[in-house]
Amino acid sequence: MMKLPARFCALLLLSLARHTAAAPDLQDCADMRDKAAPAAELDCYRQATVQPAPPKALLQSRASGLAEEWAPSNAPLAVYKQNYVLVYSYSSSTNNAPTSPNPQNQVTTPVVLDNRDLKFQFSIKHDLADFDRFGSLWFGYTQQSFWQMYDAANSRPFRENNYEPELIYSIRPNDLITKLDINPSIVNIGVVHQSNGQSNPRSRSWNRVYIQPGIEHNYGGDHRLVVLARWWERIKEDPATDDNPDISDYMGNGDLEVRYSQNSLWEVAALARTRAIQIDISVPWTAWRLLTLASPGEHNTNIHLQYFNGYGDSLIDYNHPHETWGIGLSFPFN
């Protein structure tokens, strides 16, 4: 009576071994020479040389060229702007009583804030539709959050969340007119909403339409310079319900972004508006890269430094000038 389970177990183990056996390597196939049928030997080489398809990434990293960043993509999601977490961000001046020309948006009871935040930005895009050489339609989403993580006395609240969805129609001029070989590499036309999702008196929001040409230059090897110039026009709102009627006086009518990078190793980016500038530096974390020697896979995570000076670090601070320094981690940009 004990023989049936033993035989069953033996057959089960043999079946599992067959299904989990590793693919043969070239040496295995060479050892079959003159010992097996030619068809079996050929099949061995076929199995040894077939490479498994790489797993499809959920989030596609930023491409190595500006036109490629906005080329049609089958990836579910792609990197849009920088993705980072500043575990420590220090502000020179907190905005304890946010103001606005609209009386409904005047905070009359000040709230004492900690001048330290944990700040993070999450930014992705998705290819909605492609029109061959006539461009692509994208959906973009960027969220910035300012978390008072160091304010334990007040249960570490989120000071501000900024939500920024947008629709972007991206044209690649060199595809539109073949062999044109000109800059700009891309021209983006978009409509963007930005708000902080709060009720009055702390509500802030605005809507814009913009056009953004972008040029790039490769300096041999893997060094690349990208320049993106964006001009926008605010969509007018009813003055009675406009949270921030003077926001254009502080945020201006456009911005200029300059990025200089070496592949996925490091990147320096500067974003300038009329009354503000932000500088982001992303560099390899040597200790993290050494960790890859002891663990499988790649860890594309960099040390991230950020400096901001001026107006509009967040929507609630659109008319509040301050200077901030931050340090943390950033995630794949190409």
C-alpha closest to that of 278 among 309, 305, 256: 309
3-state secondary structure 51-108: CCCCCCCCEECCCCCHHHHCCCCCCCEEECCCCEEEEEEEECCCCCCCCCCCHHHCCC
Catalytic residue among 61, 64, 195, 248: 195
Residue whose tokens read 């177990």: 9
User: Is 299 one of the catalytic residues?
Assistant: no
Longest dimension (CA), the chain: 92
Question: What does the DSSP 8-state code read for residue 112?
Answer: P
User: Is 314 one of the catalytic residues?
Assistant: no
H or E stretch at 229: strand 223-234
Q: What angle do CA 57, 58, 63 make, to 5 degrees?
A: 65
> Residue 190 pairs with which residues in a beta bridge?
168, 210
Beta-carbon contacts of 81 under 8 Å, excluding residues fewer than 6 positions away, are 121, 123, 142
**What's phi and psi for 96, nearest 5 deg?**
-75, -25
The SS3 assignment for 331 reads coil
β 59-60/77-79 pair status? parallel
Spell out a b/e string for 7-21, using b for 16 or more CB atoms within 10 Å of the CB, else e: eeeeeeeeeeeeeee
Q: d(Cα 225, Cα 65) in Å, to the nearest integer?
A: 10
Catalytic residue among 64, 126, 193, 248: 193
The sign of the torsion formed by the CA atoms of 258, 260, 261, 267 equals negative
> Residue 267 pairs with which residues in a beta bridge?
261, 282
Q: Among all residues, which ones are annotated catalytic? A: 193, 195
